[in-house]
Amino acid sequence: MTETTRKTGVSRRTLLKGTAGLAGFAVGSGAITGFPYVMSAEPKVLRYLGTAVNEGDDISKQCLKDTGIKIEYITATTDDVTKRVMTQPNSFDVLDTEYFSLKKLVPSGNILALDAKKIKEFDNITPVFTKGETPGGKKIGNQGTAPWKVLYLEGKDSKTFAKSATEFVTLIPTVYNADTLGIRPDLIKRPISSWAELLNPEFKGKASILNIPSIGIMDAAMVVEATGKYKYADKGNMTKEEIDLTMKVMTEAKKAGQFRAFWKDFNESVNLMASGETVIQSMWSPAVTKVRSMGIPCTFQPLKEGYRSWASGFCVSKGVSGAKLDWAYEFVNWFLSGYAGAYLNRQGYYSAVLSTAKAHMEPYEWAYWMEGKPAEKDIKAPDGSLLEKAGAVRDGGSYEDRMGGVACWNAVMDENDYMVRKWNEFIAA
Amino acid sequence: MDTSDELLQQASPGLARGLGLTRQKAVRLSPSFISWLQAGPMMLVFLAFFLIPLVFVVIVSFWDYNEYQLLPTFSGRGYTDTFEGCIAQLPDLCTIGKTYVKTLKLCFMVWAITLFIGFWVAYFLAFHIKSKTWQMGLSLLCTIPFWTSNVIRMIAWIPLLGRNGLVNSGLLKIGVIDQPVEWLLYSEFSVVLALVHLFTFFMVVPIFNSMVRIDKSLIEAAYDAGATGFQTLVNVIIPLAKPGIVIGSIFVITIVMGDFITIGVMGGQQIAAAGKIIETRLNALQFPAAAANAVILLAITFLIITMMSRIVDIRKEL
């Protein structure tokens, strides 16, 4: 997922200024590396590059308390995280990124795989990542860049993904979720059960999808398949013909005025939904929560075709070694030890090691978030604000039902370059 | 030579030369060297932060690339991909063609409207407001749109222009319409509105600047010679305000040509923009393709500006 934090940026001039600033920052931070190696008494500091999803202040505070490691967050959008890994691999230590980026990151050689043997809870990581099935044994859809396809490397410095388990893990999983359409039940006033509804003329001028090509096209593919127009071999890796077909369907809908707007960042999606400009759109779980916390009914609607899922995890920069690498392991181990997992679960995401997270949650919280049971007490967000009143049931139900219902994963296609060009054509149409 | 003398020499070469005659030790600097010295710092900044990066952009635009890196071999792929289908799809426009037609159309509309509004605002400030303080105060008012961030602005338009917004509910109440008007938001209308709202200021300032420097006696002379108000405007004020008009136009056109954030936000991301193509390519790590698009955008913008400066020779008029 991408959380855009772009500010004003009116002209190319401002953009240039921003880039210059970033370059300056890179030079500055480059000068700092090397310090901690020399002085062992230096405080343990890790520069943590990632999107805003995991970067809670509570997490870094708790980490400092438990391990003495100071986490310095570097927050960027998904695309910018990838760009930064490519262009400034020494500007961060720990990287938190999505599995689908690995197809770009691993061949670049700018990241280091972690050693599974040094991860205490590795064997307890949910089978969603390792086997592609839920703890209850439900098979999970493997279209797109499913994590288990890219979880292991053949060797320490290998650039090839291993077919079976090795000790070299590309990303130690941290957080993941199953995404679907968000709807305004108060304005639609009837049950919605299929992705096909996104193109239903009934919602003409009131639908939206996201304008991030790699994710948008997956949602579009879910819709095309749901309408029965075409069945993809792999939605996450389309052929040129399939891309053409998908974009043709979407272009026709766009020309017919089906879409009110496309959205690009979290806040835009919240505004569109909260203001009633749209009543059905692709959405992310915390955005739905945000709309609901404004007192506006919004449902993260489970659909019969299943969810589009994403997952992210940790690795380190190739520049990390020695004591710093040890801290990185210490930090990753701490992250999986429960506090952070519980924190993420309470936001509606899922944690990678379920057992430790469970130990850090109240039984009623676990029952609501993970088991799909009605809330015994009021459900609060990590910051203490009220999310749901007692009696509410989570959209989509239990972990088993939601993750078991995943149809495809965020992906980078082999024809990515072509797809991006077609997406631009779609926007221009 | 002491520093004050040096400063004086830079500030006013003629005077310094005069002083130089009285002091034996003074080093003679030729006037042209001094002008180079004066322009030097800006030139260096331009060279380091504009020309050199620009050269890199042009070079990279001819490179090849794969999913994760730039391949420094000569390739026209960035350009051929960009113009993909431009001949095959004739008479229909290809993506890049459509995008530029749209961008130029928006640019022209914004330019025409900001020029019209900006001209009259500047006219009002220059000829109807007598006090300098009021002139300053009122021109500062024009900067209000810049006091908020783009994020705030994009959120603020929804309650005003949205389906359930102020304008729609107002029109519904007085019975002008019986269905909310959809084209108020996420349309070309809203894009132009937002851009005009933002950039009229860039027209006002240079035109105002040109106008206040018009010798008032010229206007009186025109009046004495029996010219009507309209004739004075067309034959005296507009020709003399031309440099301001051209400078303002250059500001507005260059900004709108490269804008993709306002167009994206106000157009509901459904309106193509030349800048947007570059951003999408960058985000997909296709740097050479992005660079090629940047070069194309720069060339087209440069063409427009060259045409404009053909009409008015700014250097001569200043």
Which of A108, A264, A417 minimises the CB distance to B264? A264
Alpha helix ranges (H) inside A147-230: 185-188, 213-226
Inter-chain touch B99–A86, beta carbons under 8 Å: no
**Which of A14-28, A65-79, B205-219 has the least mean pLDDT?**
A14-28
Cα gap B106→B115, rounded to integer Å: 14
Structural contact between residues B269 and A427, judged by C-beta atoms closer than 8 angstroms: yes
* Res. B253: pLDDT tops 70: yes
The confidence score (pLDDT) of residue B318 equals 60
What residues are paired with B138 via a beta bridge?
A: none
Inter-chain touch A11–B282, beta carbons under 8 Å: no
The confidence score (pLDDT) of residue B316 equals 66
Average confidence score pLDDT of chain B = 85
| Residue percentage of chain A with pLDDT more than 70 | 90
Rounded to the nearest angstrom, the minimum Cα separation between A350 and chain B is 27
- List, in sequence order, every beta strand (DSSP E) within A256-399: 280-282, 299-301, 307-317, 350-351, 379-380, 386-388
Inter-chain touch B163–A276, beta carbons under 8 Å: yes
Cα gap B265→A143, rounded to integer Å: 32
Inter-chain touch B186–A427, beta carbons under 8 Å: no
Which of A107, A254, A420 minimises the CB distance to B270? A254
**Which of A17-31, A141-155, B106-120, B202-216 has the least mean pLDDT?**
A17-31
Q: Which residues of A touch B98 (CB under 8 A)?
A: 428-429
B88 touches chain A (CB under 8 A): no
Which of B149, B151, B258 minimises the CB distance to A11? B258
- Chain A's closest residue to B183, CA to CA, is A260
Q: Which residues of A touch B49 (CB under 8 A)?
A: 16, 20
Q: Which residues of A touch B280 (CB under 8 A)?
A: 213, 420, 423-424
Number of neighbours of residue A30 by Cβ within 10 angstroms: 13
- The pTM (predicted TM-score) of the whole model is 0.79
Inter-chain touch A428–B272, beta carbons under 8 Å: yes
Q: Which residues of A touch B269 (CB under 8 A)?
A: 211, 261-264, 427
Structural contact between residues A285 and A177, judged by C-beta atoms closer than 8 angstroms: yes
Rounded to the nearest angstrom, the minimum Cα separation between B9 and chain A is 34
Inter-chain touch B164–A275, beta carbons under 8 Å: yes
What residues are paired with A115 via a beta bridge?
A: A168
> Which DSSP symbol is given to B27?
P
B31 touches chain A (CB under 8 A): no
| Residue percentage of chain B with pLDDT more than 70 | 89
Inter-chain touch B286–A420, beta carbons under 8 Å: yes
Structural contact between residues B87 and B313, judged by C-beta atoms closer than 8 angstroms: no
Rounded to the nearest angstrom, the minimum Cα separation between A204 and chain B is 11
> Which DSSP symbol is given to A321?
-
**Which of A79-93, A356-370, B32-46, B130-144 has the least mean pLDDT?**
B130-144
Inter-chain touch B95–A79, beta carbons under 8 Å: no
Rounded to the nearest angstrom, the minimum Cα separation between A360 and chain B is 37
Cα gap B162→B40, rounded to integer Å: 51
Which of A261, A412, A417 minimises the CB distance to B286? A417
* Res. A300: pLDDT tops 70: yes
Confidence of residue A148 (pLDDT cuts 50, 70, 90): very high
* Res. A109: pLDDT tops 60: yes
Say which residues have a Cβ less than 8 Å from residue B280's Cβ, sequence separation at least 6: A213, A420, A423, A424
Q: Is A19 helix (H, G, I), strand (E, B) or coil?
A: helix
Q: Which residues of B touch A6 (CB under 8 A)?
A: 150, 261
Which of A264, A277, A424 minimises the CB distance to B163? A277
Q: Which residues of B touch A104 (CB under 8 A)?
A: 67-68, 285
> Which DSSP symbol is given to A240?
H
Rounded to the nearest angstrom, the minimum Cα separation between A90 and chain B is 17
Mean pLDDT, rounded, for A386-406 = 92
Whole-angstrom CA distances from B83 to B76, B79, B296 are 11, 6, 11
Q: Examine the predicted complex and report whether its ipTM is higher than 0.95.
A: no
Inter-chain touch B150–A7, beta carbons under 8 Å: yes
**Which of A38-52, A88-102, B288-302 has the least mean pLDDT?**
A38-52
The confidence score (pLDDT) of residue B170 equals 92
B209 touches chain A (CB under 8 A): no
The winner for highest mean pLDDT among A328-337, B149-158, B275-284 is: A328-337
CA proximity to B288, closest of B65, B91, B92: B65
CA proximity to A382, closest of A312, A267, A286: A286
- Chain A's closest residue to B281, CA to CA, is A420
CB pairs under 8 A between A and B: 123
The confidence score (pLDDT) of residue B137 equals 87
B284 touches chain A (CB under 8 A): yes
- Chain A's closest residue to B80, CA to CA, is A421
Mean pLDDT, rounded, for B6-16 = 45
B306 touches chain A (CB under 8 A): no
Rounded to the nearest angstrom, the minimum Cα separation between A285 and chain B is 21
The winner for highest mean pLDDT among A32-41, A98-107, B104-113 is: B104-113
Which of A82, A103, A424 minimises the CB distance to B277? A424
Between B307 and A7, residue with greater pLDDT: B307
Cα gap A227→A235, rounded to integer Å: 14
Structural contact between residues A174 and A352, judged by C-beta atoms closer than 8 angstroms: yes
Inter-chain touch A264–B269, beta carbons under 8 Å: yes
Structural contact between residues A309 and A176, judged by C-beta atoms closer than 8 angstroms: yes
The confidence score (pLDDT) of residue A43 equals 84
* Res. B16: pLDDT tops 80: no
